Structure 1
Amino acid sequence: MQGFRIVGLKARQRLGKYRIERRLSDGGFAAVYQAMDTIEGIRVALKIPHDRHLTEEILKDFRNEVRLAARLEHPNILRLKNASFIDDYFVIALPLGERTLADRLQKRMSLQTVLDLAEQMLEATAYAHRQRIIHCDIKPENMLLFADNTLRLSDFGIAKVAQKTVRGSGTGTVGYMAPEQAMGKPSLRSDVFSLGLIMYRMFAGEWPDWPYEWPPPGYARLRQRVPVEMLDFLKRAIDPNPRKRFRDADHMLNVFHRLKARVLNHAARRRRKSA
């Protein structure tokens, strides 16, 4: 690489077939832009790592992770459209979502919406786990929402390389990471923990905090909103001891499917009582 630069593209600047429209976000590892694909006539997201991170070793990791991610064919997993060098930039092209789950969490969600989104994130992760792939960075910012309210889990591989590069060791994002993952020992159960945290936040309206003692903040509201079986489900998912959690997201999804109708019935009974 010839020196390095922080990515700073301007609106209407061209990168090959892409015309930059605006910057969506900027982090320590990469910048993300909204761009128009002038050949296909669609808008895409371009993730462009800052040059200083692109050593030969990191590029090798990227190639391996991109090939890994290419194996994942699922409607709730965001597919990479392209990954290539354009004008000396390493450009990762992705479908452009309307917003992230992190954005959506700023507003109140109905119980049906919570259940639908929870099911989709579980479906995505369960599919990956059946391929023995650990995401390692499940968080609301990595879940994109599209016009039909479809949720797609993103950053398989990309997040893993980025976290290793920026932090120097381990992977994941503080606040969503299982205790054992913070110690450098991630497993399928670590993804279960992250999913459990996000689901708890969606149901209760508040985030559990370290050391994740039960009951977490928001528990009183949670008890009113869901039946005891769902309380037990969430408690098991975010247990600090990984051996007490669901063994993987597939196991977690199967239990969720059995509970979904009970949660809706519980809500219907509450509405009848208050009527």
Structure 2
Amino acid sequence: MVALVEERLDSGARGRVHRHAAECPACRELLVAVMRSQSCPGPLDAPLPPCGPAAARTWTPPGVLDEFHLVRLLGRGGMGAVYLAHDTSLDRLVALKLSVALEPDTSTLDSFAIEARAIARIKHPNVVTVFRAGQVEGRPYLVYEYVDGKSLAELALPLPWRYALDIALGLARGLRAAHQRGVLHRDVKPGNAILDADGSIKLLDFGLAAFVGTDRSKPWAVPGVVGTPRYMAPEVRLGAPATPQSDLYALGLLVYELCTGRVPHVRASGADRVAAALVPLVDLVPGVDLDFAEAVERCLEEDPSARFGRVDALCTALERLGARGQDAGFAPVRSAAIAETRP
């Protein structure tokens, strides 16, 4: 199944995968998710969006939605488009996300509702703020704070590991705030994190989030294969429920990519397992702090129980490293420093 994601199977092997999936519910669900992702743009870097003929046709929004005047398109994703807009009631710039499918399907409508509820639960400087939700011509839209910056997917990699540490700490804090409010993100990746002009980092796009109880004495597990295949935890790829540890895996993979400019290739390991061919950070990043490397690689353990039990523990480890760096005279990341890494 993993080789199928990487498009490394010949026709005979693909046939065997399909025959196995016909008899295995977990693999069948994953196969459907993979096929959906491969039939839309960005097979490994995009979440699993609705596909088909209707997905190719788009609706053009009016220039004015309630008190919001659209200024320009900022970007498109699997679930809709994001525009820079002017909020005339408060005279400020905002980001407005709306569905642009001619006939939005149920999953798209659900995604907007989930995202609005998820972000409304979380109030944290490392999570983008949602201002309001509305509808135009039967299509949902969400209004967020406008972050004037770059997504991590737009940065020239690799970054110096100290900058990656600062980013990792901000994202870990944002993810901790989400988990504390009973929200699993389920799609942590560079494209869903944005670096503000002042150097602060924000987690965004909770359209695939899942809600769980905030009682930490009970296990958190949300069934369903969703997310971006490239950043899925090994157990989720195999159909296991999403957990806080699968969010941690994705965060660790993101930070590993920031430091090295690469994502480890997922490989098959035995009949029913997957594993990442992980090259240690110390072999790829000269001078990297050994404790930082250990924290990142712990997030990437194949066995979820070997990862940090909670994001709180990762935050504590990164905060200790950050404080140690400040004592040594290292300045925190700033936009100018990030700009220096671009060609």
Give the SS at the match of 2:121: coil
Deviation, structure 1 residue 174: 1.5
Residue 283 of structure 2 is aligned to residue 212 of structure 1: no
**1:13-67 CA distances to partner (integer Å, 9 max, x unpaired)?**
2222222222122233211112222222222211112253343x76466445523
C-alpha spacing 1:66/1:243, structure 2 compared with 1 (3 Å): same
Task: Give the unaligned 5+ runs of structure 2.
Answer: 1-53, 211-223, 267-274, 331-343
Task: Decide whether the 8 Å contact of 1:7 with 1:48 is kept in 2.
Answer: no
Residue 221 of structure 2 is aligned to residue 159 of structure 1: no
Deviation, structure 1 residue 135: 0.7
Q: Which amino acid aligns with 1:180?
A: E
Deviation, structure 1 residue 150: 1.5
C-alpha spacing 1:7/1:267, structure 2 compared with 1 (3 Å): farther
Residue 295 of structure 2 is aligned to residue 233 of structure 1: yes
CA–CA distance in 2 between the matches of 1:207 and 1:263?
26
Deviation, structure 1 residue 207: 2.1
Task: Decide whether the 8 Å contact of 1:130 with 1:250 is kept in 2.
Answer: no
CA–CA distance in 1 between the matches of 2:193 and 2:123?
16
The corresponding residue for 2:89 is 39
Task: Decide whether the 8 Å contact of 1:192 with 1:249 is kept in 2.
Answer: yes
Residue 284 of structure 2 is aligned to residue 221 of structure 1: yes
Identity across the alignment (%) = 29
Deviation, structure 1 residue 261: 4.8
Could you say which structure has the greater relative contact order, defined with CA pairs below 8 angstroms and 6 or more residues apart? Answer: 2
Q: What is the TM-score of this pair, normalised by structure 1? A: 0.80
Residue 214 of structure 2 is aligned to residue 181 of structure 1: no
CA–CA distance in 2 between the matches of 1:106 and 1:61?
30
C-alpha spacing 1:64/1:116, structure 2 compared with 1 (3 Å): closer
Superposition pairs for residues 30-69 of structure 1, below 5 Å? 30-49=80-99, 50-55=101-106, 59=109, 62-63=112-113, 65-69=115-119
CA–CA distance in 2 between the matches of 1:265 and 1:206?
30
Task: Decide whether the 8 Å contact of 1:16 with 1:87 is kept in 2.
Answer: no
Q: Which amino acid aligns with 1:159?
A: L
CA–CA distance in 2 between the matches of 1:220 and 1:155?
33
CA–CA distance in 1 between the matches of 2:111 and 2:168?
31
Deviation, structure 1 residue 139: 0.9
Aligned residues: 252
CA–CA distance in 2 between the matches of 1:130 and 1:155?
18
Superposition pairs for residues 109-148 of structure 1, below 5 Å? 109-148=159-198
The corresponding residue for 1:164 is none
Task: Decide whether the 8 Å contact of 1:160 with 1:171 is kept in 2.
Answer: no
CA–CA distance in 1 between the matches of 2:161 and 2:277?
25
Task: Decide whether the 8 Å contact of 2:151 with 2:192 is kept in 1.
Answer: yes
The corresponding residue for 2:123 is 73
Q: Which amino acid aligns with 2:60?
A: G
**1:152-206 CA distances to partner (integer Å, 9 max, x unpaired)?**
11122x2348xxxxxxx52211111111222241100001001101111222232
Deviation, structure 1 residue 110: 4.0
Q: Could you tell me which of 101, 105, 125 is aligned with 2:152?
A: 101
C-alpha spacing 1:261/1:73, structure 2 compared with 1 (3 Å): closer
The corresponding residue for 2:226 is 171
Give the SS at the match of 1:175: helix
C-alpha spacing 1:267/1:197, structure 2 compared with 1 (3 Å): farther
Task: Give the unaligned 5+ runs of structure 1.
Answer: 162-168, 269-275
CA–CA distance in 2 between the matches of 1:26 and 1:230?
34
Task: Decide whether the 8 Å contact of 2:112 with 2:141 is kept in 1.
Answer: no
C-alpha spacing 1:263/1:240, structure 2 compared with 1 (3 Å): farther
Deviates more, 1:199-208 or 1:130-139: 199-208
Deviation, structure 1 residue 242: 0.8
Deviation, structure 1 residue 80: 1.1
C-alpha spacing 1:188/1:40, structure 2 compared with 1 (3 Å): same
The corresponding residue for 1:200 is 256
CA–CA distance in 2 between the matches of 1:27 and 1:117?
23
